[in-house]
Amino acid sequence: MIPELEYKKPKTLNAALKFLNQNAKAKVLAGGTDIIPGFHIESKRFIDIKTLVDIKEIPELRKIVEKKDSIEVGAAVTFAEICEHPVIRKYVPLLADAASMLGSLQIRNRATIAGNFVNNAPCADSVPPLLVYDAKIQIQSEKRISEISLQKFLLQPYKTALKKGEIVTKIIIPKPPEDFRGLFYKLGRRRAVAISRISLALLISLENGLIKELKIGSGAVTPIGMRLYDVEKYAKGKIASRETFRELAIMLGQKVLGITGLRWSSVYKLPVIQNLFYQLLSKLVEYEKN
């Protein structure tokens, strides 16, 4: 059952921020694809909401803007819009790939980018690509505007740095250097409309057969999405060979296991992650060579 509530639809960002500042039990509504079924299954995350503040049509939150060195994606841009946007596809294709695999078309037509990660679920498909692209997010309250890296914003499962009265207003993605190639991988129980069981994003750049830089963003293999900096650091300057990838894959598996601890699913997930990572790296480098 959806609890008794009030519905507000402010026309401007300022009006929304003012309302949120004055109403502690108000919660932001955008696509609603998490919150409405959440009510339905009586999720504890959504009890105590008295008012929903619909921000999905606030113009400031609806734009994708290409700047000189970055791309700014409004918080309420939908995944259907992200999949198709030429600027996203050109500069940050892993985000477009992740968006195209998210839910169904019906979900992608409603679900918004910020809505995907503000609840900090480990299976959020936008997170691994945004992490490897070093995305920052802009947070706004009635009193102030601030910026924080996505990595720092995601605190622990289902907890972020977002405070009462604040809204994520945009995602700022620096344009990656042109020599980066990447892949996003998602494994669900089936291909469509599936919650990610395993998700991973990789970006790599090579120079004279050596790994110049490697970026690894984890999704549903760690309790929250994170960058695996130790493995990235170790990879730097190594020969881009199958031996190195094998070494990195083993190291990645150990890291993930160290973070998650031994779980019932580890027996399955660990070798899958290692093999997957190895295959993704091989595929990326083969592609480079040809």
Partner 1 sequence: MRKIKIQFKLNHNDIVVETFPNRRLLDLLRDDLNLTGTKEGCGIGECGACTILINNKAVNSCLILAPEVDGKEVLTVEGLSSNGQLTTLQENFLKYGAIQCGFCTPGMVLSAHALLIKNSQPIEDEIKDAIAGNLCRCTGYKQIIEAIKATVKS
| Interacting residues toward partner 1 by CB under 8 A | 2-7, 9, 29, 32-33, 36-37, 40-41, 52, 54, 56, 80, 103-107, 109-110, 191-193
**Regarding beta strands 70-74 and 136-140, do their DSSP bridges make them parallel or antiparallel, or are they unpaired?**
unpaired
Cβ burial of 118 (10 Å; 0-12, 13-18, 19+) is buried
User: Would you list the DSSP string of 52-72?
Assistant: EEE-TT-GGGS-EEE-SSEEE
Which is nearer to partner 1, 80 or 203 (by Cβ)? Answer: 80
Q: Is 23 left (phi over 0), alpha (psi -120 to 50) or beta?
A: beta
* Distance in Å, CB of 180 to partner 1, minimum: 27
- For 168, other C-beta atoms within 10 Å of its C-beta total 27
Which is nearer to partner 1, 145 or 192 (by Cβ)? Answer: 192
Which is nearer to partner 1, 220 or 224 (by Cβ)? Answer: 220
Looking at residue 98, its amino acid is A
Which is nearer to partner 1, 99 or 284 (by Cβ)? Answer: 99
Which is nearer to partner 1, 2 or 47 (by Cβ)? Answer: 2
* Distance in Å, CB of 8 to partner 1, minimum: 9
d(CA 112, CA 142): 22
* Distance in Å, CB of 134 to partner 1, minimum: 30
* Distance in Å, CB of 238 to partner 1, minimum: 38
* Distance in Å, CB of 271 to partner 1, minimum: 29
